[in-house]
Amino acid sequence: MSQVRVLVGTRKGAFVLTSDGKRQNWDVSGPHFAGWEMYHLKGSPANPNRIYASQCSGWFGQIIQRSDDGGKTWTQPGTPPGEKNAEPAGPPKGESNKFVYDTSAKTGKPLTTHMWYDGTQHPWEFKRVWHLEPSPTDPDTVYAGVEDAGLFRSTDGGQNWQELAGLRGHGTGPHWQPGAGGMCLHTVILDPSDPKRIYIAISAAGAFRTDDGGKSWKPINKGLHSQYIPDPNAEVGHCVHHVAMNPSRPGVLFMQKHWDVMRSDNAGDLWKEVSGNLPTDFGFVIDVHAHEPETIYVVPIKSDGEHFPLDGKLRVYRSKTGGNEWEALTKGLPQSNCYVNVLRDAMAIDSLDKCGVYFGTTGGQVYASADAGDNWNPIVSHLPAVLSVEVQTLA
């Protein structure tokens, strides 16, 4: 019997929602790590019982948590509860939250500053992990997208992290500037057909790609047009909110930019706008149907000044043509007086035959559709503000 497990990160803890393949009745577990900001949780495709979680706090900083039993119990990787530090000769413990930017000579281009809001240079300062992306093949390998923007990798199950410094060092790093939410690396996409190809996106620098496993990177922002920056067609400086890909067609990418919904058919080399008939093309989330790679979903938000749905109506928009032609999905969603937001990592899609679509709101609702978006129901309605939603399809 199929089962789905929805992993929800909120401003005040994490929740694990489980259901059978019908996706009508749900068990809710949590809050895990009550009181902490849970930016993101994601399971390993290679071992679904392994889940990585980013836990953070303005007081106590960053923590990485890992579960090896599907979210029932958690530990900080490499530091089992009650185990004291190793002898001096042994490996150090308590390093799973140590994210140190690589400025060593071997990376070639030590980089210590980026552009601040006022145009001056500002030191790179680690703040938090926004996104964890486990390897599709190795449960011990996981990538972390962090603020201030950088990409880290662990190959030992999250115990230790090393920066892929070629991203910050490729040349445009000193020109990156924070968006309103900070200078975060929020999207990490691993190409399942090519282990050396990785896509990432940064607010507000843009999208980048490596074809050599992270050694070298290039901006992939051609075709993006952002009229609110000094050069609207600049190589970097675009506020990309999220990027999505269907694993069966890894060269095709869909992007929700600050304004504009975009697609690329050549691995990001060139983008074209597909906002079409959307009522507003501002938004944060974007995702792709599990089995129909031309079917995509967004949640339009009124504007960058008003982060809530247009006219107080919470509507998911679906395009079955890869963009341009969009239909509003409203059945089961509030169609009046709704003023929540849906943040960039707060939509996910399962891979059951009739794929399920899930999203969470800053009002604490998690909505699910078991029929690819035609009908919606809230799984839970009163959580803290939802930061992220991921789903695991379990055999």
Partner 1 sequence: MIRVVLPGHLRALARAGFEVQLEIVGPVTQRSVLDALEAQYPMLRGTIRDHVTHERRPFLRFFACEEDYSLEPPDTPLPDAIASGKEPLLIIGAIAGG
Q: Sort residue 208 into left (φ over 0), alpha (ψ -120 to 50) or beta.
A: beta
Among positions 1, 25, 58, 230, the unique one binding partner 1 when judged by CB under 8 A = 58
Q: Least separation, in Å, of the C-beta of 117 and partner 1?
A: 20
Cα 47 from Cα 205, distance rounded (Å): 33
Cα 97 from Cα 177, distance rounded (Å): 25
Residue 63 in contact with partner 1, rule: CB under 8 A: yes
Residue 161 in contact with partner 1, rule: CB under 8 A: no
Tokens standing for residue 379: 């799984």
Of 65-84, binders to partner 1 (CB under 8 A) are: 76, 79, 81-84
Amino acid at 211: D
Tokens standing for residue 108: 């070639």
Residue 144 in contact with partner 1, rule: CB under 8 A: no
Q: Least separation, in Å, of the C-beta of 63 and partner 1?
A: 7
Residue 12 in contact with partner 1, rule: CB under 8 A: no
Nearest C-alpha neighbor of 236 from the set 275, 197, 209, 276: 209
Stretch that binds partner 1, among 52-60, 113-121, 189-197, 258-266 (CB under 8 A): 52-60
Of 15-44, binders to partner 1 (CB under 8 A) are: 35-36
Measured from the CB atom, the residue of 127 and 215 that comes closer to partner 1 is: 127
Residue whose tokens read 């290679």? 46
Residue 94 in contact with partner 1, rule: CB under 8 A: yes
Cα 107 from Cα 257, distance rounded (Å): 31
253-257, strands of its sheet edge to edge:
240-245, 253-257, 261-264, 272-273
Residue 85 in contact with partner 1, rule: CB under 8 A: yes
Residue 276, CA atoms < 13 Å, CB-side half-sphere: 16
Stretch that binds partner 1, among 91-99, 188-196, 278-286, 361-369 (CB under 8 A): 91-99
Among positions 62, 135, 361, 393, the unique one binding partner 1 when judged by CB under 8 A = 62
Q: Least separation, in Å, of the C-beta of 144 and partner 1?
A: 14
Q: Least separation, in Å, of the C-beta of 98 and partner 1?
A: 5
Residue 91 in contact with partner 1, rule: CB under 8 A: no
H or E element, residue 241 = strand 240-245
Cα 66 from Cα 74, distance rounded (Å): 5
Cβ neighbors of 297 (< 8 A, separation 6 or more) are: 285, 286, 287, 288, 289, 316, 317, 318, 347, 349, 357, 373
Q: Least separation, in Å, of the C-beta of 101 and partner 1?
A: 10
Residue 154 in contact with partner 1, rule: CB under 8 A: no
Residue 59 in contact with partner 1, rule: CB under 8 A: yes
Stretch that binds partner 1, among 55-63, 186-194, 317-325, 362-370 (CB under 8 A): 55-63
Measured from the CB atom, the residue of 22 and 34 that comes closer to partner 1 is: 34
Cα 249 from Cα 349, distance rounded (Å): 16
Residue whose tokens read 């169609």? 335
Residue 256 in contact with partner 1, rule: CB under 8 A: no
Residue 97 in contact with partner 1, rule: CB under 8 A: yes
Number of neighbours of residue 311 by Cβ within 10 angstroms: 12
Q: Least separation, in Å, of the C-beta of 58 and partner 1?
A: 6
Residue 228 in contact with partner 1, rule: CB under 8 A: no
Residue 57 in contact with partner 1, rule: CB under 8 A: yes
Chain residues binding partner 1 by CB under 8 A are 35-36, 57-63, 76, 79, 81-85, 92-95, 97-98, 100
